[in-house]
Structure 1
Amino acid sequence: MAGAQQTYPKWLLACKQHITDSKEWDSFLKELHDAIQQQLTQSHVQYFSDLSEPEKELFMERATQAIKGGTVYNGLCKKVSVITDQSLNEDVSRQLLEESPMDTKTDLVIESAEEGALSLLKKWPDMKNKLYICLNQPLPLHIRQLTWRLYLSNTKEYSYSVRKHYIDQLNTNPRAAISMYDYDISQKCETLLNSEPTFNDLRGSVGIFYGMKATLSYYHSILKTKNRLRDVEHLLAVPFMDVASTNISRREPPPGRVVALIVEEFMTFLGSRPGFVVDSGSDDHNDEVIAFIDKVAKLLQRRHPEVSRMITEKFVPVKEKIVATETGSYALLTEGLMTLIRPMIRSVFVTYLKMDTLLYIWDQYMIGVDTPGFNNEWLAIVTVTLLGLIKEKLKEATSPAHMEKILKAESCKLTVPQFQYEIKLHYYKDLFSLLTKDQKAAMPILDPTQAQHPPWRHWYNDVIPPHTKPQDRRKAREEREAERDRQLQQQKDVETARKEQDQRERRDEEETFLKMAAVDRQRVEEERIALQDQLDEERRRRIEAEKRAQAEIDQLKLELAAMKHTKPPSRAPSTNSMSSNISRLIIAPPPSRASKITIEPLVVLPPVEEARTPTPAQTPTEQRNKIIIDFLRRAKHGVDKVAHAEGNDKSDLDRETEGYLRQNVRDIKNAQKEVFGKTLDPGEFDKMPPKKQQDTSEKMIKLMQKWREERRAKELAKKR
């Protein structure tokens, strides 16, 4: 029930609820029940359930026709009208109050009514015959799309199979849906869309081009012929593309489901065309063309005699301009009309009318597709109306070719209101009667108050169920139940097959996913092994470097120890020689990035003059220690000078170092906020367990390192 309610607008569901709760509806049901019961009594049928579905439908329609026009029926119609108007108005008022839309109240009423009509047509497609109320009116876009789809969905013949066949070919063998002349069809479609003035709205649309090309290419592949498509078949595909343009992107090819629907409508339309529109040159089609031209000629003489005279005069050779008989003039008129309007009828006015006017003409054509003879009459009326609207321009024609040129140029300027006015003034009653005559006389009238059978009218249109015996009805009912069970079982089998197919597809997708996952795992494992090898190699190099460094340190320690235990020479060593020996063992520190001082080689102190007589107070050990301390002091001074700089450089270095220290403090606080959600109090970190301290320290170090790298990247970008 929830799914059904979502199909209809809320105001329509509320309207239905109010109607079914009204007393007028109860009275209508009671009277309808009485009418059906009388039919059952007269037909000697005990129960309504004993009837077949066609019989039930027939009894219901007879009963409805019997009470139609009565007091109860009229009361219900008035109630429905009032409640519909009230529900729709309340819904629109609610939208204006709560949603504050940009549209006016009139626009909202039209949109809501359109939504309700669409929902009813989708639920009950057979109600499409009610669209005769739209006669002589251009259909709104969404109703136009649904109307064309309903009238061009001929499931009794081949349209559904064509649509299904096209989808199957797209899924299994897309190449089979492409014509051998696909390139030629593409060129013609591109040229037509880019050059024809009446197709300006479609020009430059990639989706329209590909949809039109795919439709025509598939249509030609179905024909199984080596002949190329006619130009008129390219023209007839354009209105279908324009109607479907809202579902097609201008920059991308259309989806397959949209093309499948266009293919169905286009091929059904081509198969339902009258013979005078097909005009293939066969004898049957030639006869239909002649009959259609005769109808147009007679209608033109009656409505626009001046146009018929102009055509007669223009198509008479100059040397034969003599007083013609009435029969001869009519023959000249039909001959002239044959030349003038034949191309226009073949294309059903495509390229002769601008697109909105053309779609208005095609809307009426679609509404009358199921009504025999309607479209013949409609196309003749449109042709005569068109010639009558441009009659002033036709007077300027000097030759048949000039008249054709004027027809092509001036017809594109005609508008929908011009056609509506002429048709409403002269032809609407006849067209409406032709469109609704079968609906009015389809069912006989049965008066429940009469004891005898009423005078039937057109009873032969109905299939009267024969009188049967109870055992025959019981047997028929059992057969119907068996058939119903068979259909249910068939539906269950189809559903089971569909579920199995879905499961197979799901398993295939899972297997594909598992294979892809295995490939990804293998690739990740290979990368991990390669990285592990690189890590091991780097670790090995580091260990070797550490061993070499440790060996050098040990060697230096040994040399230093040896120097300490070496006996002093007969005279004290010079400071210069001792400094030179130690300076060769100490490696100069690297320069600081913040310092701009160029590192100079270690300055060797000038040799100290040897005392002629050593001071007796200093022992050799004290002299050696003094020299080492003096060397270390000078080394420290050099390192401090390199590390901390001097003068302005020292001030700059101190300022920059202070900035780094402050930034480091801010990074530590921000990292604490990221990891702990707050800044830690003094000593709070030390109270945490060692494991938590280690984990949180690593997270904070990673965050700080990340922020430092980002700042460094920004500084480098600015310098560039």
Structure 2
Amino acid sequence: MAGAQQTYPKWLLACKQHITDSKEWDSFLKELHDAIQQQLTQSHVQYFSDLSEPEKELFMERATQAIKGGTVYNGLCKKVSVITDQSLNEDVSRQLLEESPMDTKTDLVIESAEEGALSLLKKWPDMKNKLYICLNQPLPLHIRQLTWRLYLSNTKVRKHYIDQLNTNPRAAISMYDYDISQKCETLLNSEPTFNDLRGSVGIFYGMKATLSYYHSILKTKNRLRDVEHLLAVPFMDVASTNISRREPPPGRVVALIVEEFMTFLGSRPGFVVDSGSDDHNDEVIAFIDKVAKLLQRRHPEVSRMITEKFVPVKEKIVATETGSYALLTEGLMTLIRPMIRSVFVTYLKMDTLLYIWDQYMIGVDTPGFNNEWLAIVTVTLLGLIKEKLKEATSPAHMEKILKAESCKLTVPQFQYEIKLHYYKDLFSLLTKDQKAAMPILDPTQAQHPPWRHWYNDVIPPHTKPQDRRKAREEREAERDRQLQQQKDVETARKEQDQRERRDEEETFLKMAAVDRQRVEEERIALQDQLDEERRRRIEAEKRAQAEIDQLKLELAAMKHTKPPSRAPSTNSMSSNISRLIIAPPPSRASKITIEPLVVLPPVEEARTPTPAQTPTEQRNKIIIDFLRRAKHGVDKVAHAEGNDKSDLDRETEGYLRQNVRDIKNAQKEVFGKTLDPGEFDKMPPKKQQDTSEKMIKLMQKWREERRAKELAKKR
């Protein structure tokens, strides 16, 4: 028992428990027991257990029909409706709170109800006749699969197929298996209405296996007709969720498709089989006659159009009413016969086709329903494309338009037309046999059909106009309050966004001001250092110039003085001049520390050499030597010498190149490109200032990063 209950959803089990615990259920059982006991007494049967199973079902049905419509029965129906609604709603609410699903509450209600309906149909397959409530509605996928399986069930066909595979698999393959495979592949890849199935390996193998087995059962040397290939496609589409697109389908799935397909072929009306036999021809003629009469009543302009187009021009004369009707039936015979043979396969896109087939399956067990249904669908299809049919110029053109335009029709178009014109007749035809499905004890009790609805809506209580007005005003006030609340929330959100944006702008401006101030301070500091260096150089140049002027004066004075009796030595003269020379200050661009010249004490001479030069030549030599030494000292201070000079030149050149690269990179960061010569000068002063600050900030950042890397390497 526990294993059986696991197939039902929890909400349905809870609903059953609440119903069986209710007092309405106890009252119903008591009244049902009394009705059965009355039947036993009238039938002279002592115990209910003495009856056979069919007799028990008969007595139960009679008793139910006898008490139907009474107070106890209606009370139980209301109780069932309320408890079902409550249980389903509580289960959906629990899912929303605990599981946080992505679907809406409506979707969850539909899914849960579908799950409950499937579990009941699997438990009691005879309840499939209740599916008439789905008339004119496309069935959900899982209910469609179960419905087709229930109405096309044939255990004998399935057992024969499975036994054939187990005992002699080769016998389940047709002698034209290769030809069937080619036709299946061509059909799936070329037909536009089968786009969803194109490229599926599983669909191809399943369709080929089904048709190959079907042909092997026929025991004929004739190949399968094209229409039989077409009729297998809807079954493959319905089973596609259980078939992999990359692998052949499982054996159980193929067995189910074989069972449904062969049962469907065996249950087709004669006008659909249309084998050419006399019986089938009579059924085709009767079906065309039904379509013609229905078309004349609902769409007379279409019938006139068909009559005109199918009459050759040379024979077009004023025809009688009987002659016009004969022309209409002849035209319909040519126009719709291929469409009826394939039951609209390739004429309708797949979702619309499956909707048509759903209604066909629901009416399989109802005599005459499918004849009526296919006729109504045919007339509705012709009526929906009547505007396009007016463009036809010949019978062939009309057939081409029918094939092209019918593929564009949708399910809602058919639903609207059928609901408007045919639903009542179809519903009556579908349910008329269910009223007399079981004999009843009292014929007067058979005034109403059995309870068939999942839920009975409660009629709202009567209210006064002022109460309705007050309720409407309250709803409008609540709606206005919610709208105002939403507006306030939106306004507060916008204000918060604006405040955050302003705060970000102020923070950015402050950071920019701090950066500008820091850059300005660094610029001022560098300018001060440059001014100080310039000042020191000017002072050094002034001192050197003053010393040169002084030396010039001394040299001029020495020219007018009498030369001494003894010429001074070169060493002593150099020593005296070196006392007057002051070393220039070192340059900041040089890394060489120049030591000041050390004044050496005069060297005592052992003897006085004989002068080899005249005094004038000695003076000129001293002056030239002094000027050479002064120039050499200035060059050494400014440019260094030897390896130091090369290093200084190389580093200076590297700094200049790096500075040029930084300027170009900064232009790319700010402008997105490198500026052409003179392009920056053409910009407005404000833009020049802003972009210059951004470029200086970037160059300073890169310079600090390089300094940090150099310091890290030295460490």
Q: Smaller-chain TM-score range?
A: 0.5 to 0.7
Deviations, residues 547-603 of structure 1 (Å, cap 9, x unaligned): 999999999999999999999999999999999999999999999999999999999
Structure-2 residue corresponding to 1:690: 685
Q: Give SS of 2:444's match.
A: coil
Q: How is 1:479-490 mapped onto 2 (pairs within 5 angstroms)?
A: none
Query: Does structure 2 retain, via aligned residues, the 8 Å contact 1:574–1:607?
Result: no
Distance 2:169 2:703 in 1: 57
Structure-2 change in CA distance of 1:409 and 1:633 (3 Å): same
Comparing 677-686 with 119-128, greater Cα deviation is found at: 677-686
Distance 1:332 1:431 in 2: 29
Query: Does structure 1 retain, via aligned residues, the 8 Å contact 2:78–2:456?
Result: no
Query: Does structure 2 retain, via aligned residues, the 8 Å contact 1:349–1:358?
Result: yes
Distance 1:149 1:102 in 2: 31
Distance 1:87 1:42 in 2: 41
Query: Does structure 1 retain, via aligned residues, the 8 Å contact 2:533–2:588?
Result: no
Comparing 47-56 with 123-132, greater Cα deviation is found at: 47-56
Distance 2:53 2:507 in 1: 50
Structure-1 residue corresponding to 2:163: 168
Deviations, residues 240-285 of structure 1 (Å, cap 9, x unaligned): 0000000000000001110010000000000000000000000000
Distance 1:168 1:572 in 2: 144
Structure-1 residue corresponding to 2:466: 471
- Shift of residue 165 of structure 1? 2.1
Q: Which runs of 4+ in 1 moved over 4 A?
A: 447-720
- Shift of residue 649 of structure 1? 36
- Shift of residue 154 of structure 1? 3.2
Deviations, residues 200-257 of structure 1 (Å, cap 9, x unaligned): 0000000000000000000001111100000000000000000000000000000111
Comparing 92-101 with 500-509, greater Cα deviation is found at: 500-509
Comparing 50-59 with 261-270, greater Cα deviation is found at: 50-59
Structure-2 change in CA distance of 1:542 and 1:399 (3 Å): farther
Query: Does structure 2 retain, via aligned residues, the 8 Å contact 1:443–1:461?
Result: no
- Shift of residue 172 of structure 1? 3.1
Structure-2 change in CA distance of 1:363 and 1:681 (3 Å): closer
Q: How is 1:437-476 mapped onto 2 (pairs within 5 angstroms)?
A: 437-447=432-442
Deviations, residues 35-71 of structure 1 (Å, cap 9, x unaligned): 1111111111111111111111111101101111111
Structure-2 change in CA distance of 1:560 and 1:413 (3 Å): farther
Structure-2 change in CA distance of 1:491 and 1:563 (3 Å): same
Structure-1 residue corresponding to 2:83: 83
- Shift of residue 322 of structure 1? 1.1
- Shift of residue 669 of structure 1? 57
Structure-2 change in CA distance of 1:477 and 1:611 (3 Å): closer
Q: Give SS of 1:461's match.
A: coil
Deviations, residues 135-169 of structure 1 (Å, cap 9, x unaligned): 0000000000000000000358xxxxx21222223
Kindly indicate whether residue 74 of structure 2 is the aligned counterpart of residue 99 of structure 1. Answer: no
Structure-2 residue corresponding to 1:431: 426
- Shift of residue 317 of structure 1? 1.0
- TM value normalised by structure 2: 0.62
Structure-2 change in CA distance of 1:24 and 1:491 (3 Å): farther
- Shift of residue 678 of structure 1? 63
Query: Does structure 2 retain, via aligned residues, the 8 Å contact 1:447–1:454?
Result: no
Larger radius of gyration: 2
Query: Does structure 2 retain, via aligned residues, the 8 Å contact 1:178–1:221?
Result: yes
Deviations, residues 62-97 of structure 1 (Å, cap 9, x unaligned): 110111111111111110000000000000000000
Comparing 568-577 with 271-280, greater Cα deviation is found at: 568-577
Distance 1:479 1:155 in 2: 62
Structure-2 change in CA distance of 1:471 and 1:192 (3 Å): same
Structure-2 change in CA distance of 1:16 and 1:402 (3 Å): same
Query: Does structure 1 retain, via aligned residues, the 8 Å contact 2:592–2:640?
Result: yes
Q: Give SS of 1:377's match.
A: helix
- Shift of residue 512 of structure 1? 82
Deviations, residues 327-364 of structure 1 (Å, cap 9, x unaligned): 00000000000000000000000000000000000000
Structure-2 change in CA distance of 1:53 and 1:316 (3 Å): same
Query: Does structure 1 retain, via aligned residues, the 8 Å contact 2:81–2:455?
Result: no
Distance 2:533 2:329 in 1: 100
Distance 1:91 1:498 in 2: 37
Query: Does structure 1 retain, via aligned residues, the 8 Å contact 2:65–2:445?
Result: no
Distance 1:618 1:176 in 2: 139
Comparing 419-428 with 491-500, greater Cα deviation is found at: 491-500
Distance 1:261 1:490 in 2: 58
Structure-2 change in CA distance of 1:204 and 1:464 (3 Å): closer
Structure-2 change in CA distance of 1:598 and 1:651 (3 Å): same
Pick the aligned partner of 2:621 from 595, 620, 626: 626
Deviations, residues 516-554 of structure 1 (Å, cap 9, x unaligned): 999999999999999999999999999999999999999
Query: Does structure 1 retain, via aligned residues, the 8 Å contact 2:575–2:602?
Result: no
Q: Give SS of 1:153's match.
A: coil
Query: Does structure 1 retain, via aligned residues, the 8 Å contact 2:579–2:599?
Result: no
Structure-2 change in CA distance of 1:146 and 1:457 (3 Å): closer
Structure-2 change in CA distance of 1:40 and 1:566 (3 Å): farther
Structure-2 change in CA distance of 1:93 and 1:462 (3 Å): closer
Query: Does structure 2 retain, via aligned residues, the 8 Å contact 1:576–1:604?
Result: no
Structure-2 change in CA distance of 1:296 and 1:680 (3 Å): closer
Q: Give SS of 1:449's match.
A: helix
Distance 1:527 1:253 in 2: 79
- Shift of residue 632 of structure 1? 75
Query: Does structure 2 retain, via aligned residues, the 8 Å contact 1:182–1:217?
Result: yes
- Shift of residue 374 of structure 1? 0.3
Query: Does structure 2 retain, via aligned residues, the 8 Å contact 1:65–1:444?
Result: no
Distance 1:546 1:186 in 2: 107
Distance 1:509 1:226 in 2: 86
Query: Does structure 2 retain, via aligned residues, the 8 Å contact 1:275–1:284?
Result: yes
- Shift of residue 644 of structure 1? 51
Query: Does structure 1 retain, via aligned residues, the 8 Å contact 2:158–2:258?
Result: yes
Structure-2 change in CA distance of 1:575 and 1:513 (3 Å): closer
Structure-2 change in CA distance of 1:471 and 1:132 (3 Å): same
Query: Does structure 2 retain, via aligned residues, the 8 Å contact 1:24–1:72?
Result: yes
Distance 1:615 1:454 in 2: 159
Structure-2 residue corresponding to 1:31: 31
Pick the aligned partner of 1:376 from 355, 371, 375: 371
Pick the aligned partner of 2:496 from 498, 501, 517: 501
Identify unmatched segments of 5+ residues in structure 1. 157-161
Structure-2 change in CA distance of 1:593 and 1:483 (3 Å): closer
- Shift of residue 32 of structure 1? 0.7
Distance 2:486 2:50 in 1: 25
- Shift of residue 173 of structure 1? 2.4
Distance 2:504 2:221 in 1: 42
Structure-2 change in CA distance of 1:515 and 1:675 (3 Å): closer
Query: Does structure 2 retain, via aligned residues, the 8 Å contact 1:198–1:353?
Result: yes
Distance 1:223 1:488 in 2: 71
Comparing 464-473 with 368-377, greater Cα deviation is found at: 464-473
Comparing 403-412 with 599-608, greater Cα deviation is found at: 599-608
Distance 1:546 1:604 in 2: 21
Distance 2:676 2:441 in 1: 98
Query: Does structure 1 retain, via aligned residues, the 8 Å contact 2:547–2:581?
Result: no
Q: How is 1:488-567 mapped onto 2 (pairs within 5 angstroms)?
A: none
- Shift of residue 476 of structure 1? 69
Structure-2 change in CA distance of 1:270 and 1:687 (3 Å): same
Structure-2 change in CA distance of 1:496 and 1:269 (3 Å): farther
Distance 1:174 1:492 in 2: 73
Query: Does structure 1 retain, via aligned residues, the 8 Å contact 2:130–2:452?
Result: no
Q: Give SS of 2:498's match.
A: helix
Comparing 645-654 with 2-11, greater Cα deviation is found at: 645-654
Pick the aligned partner of 1:703 from 683, 695, 698: 698
Structure-2 change in CA distance of 1:462 and 1:187 (3 Å): same
Query: Does structure 1 retain, via aligned residues, the 8 Å contact 2:128–2:147?
Result: yes
Structure-2 residue corresponding to 1:716: 711
Structure-2 change in CA distance of 1:492 and 1:690 (3 Å): closer
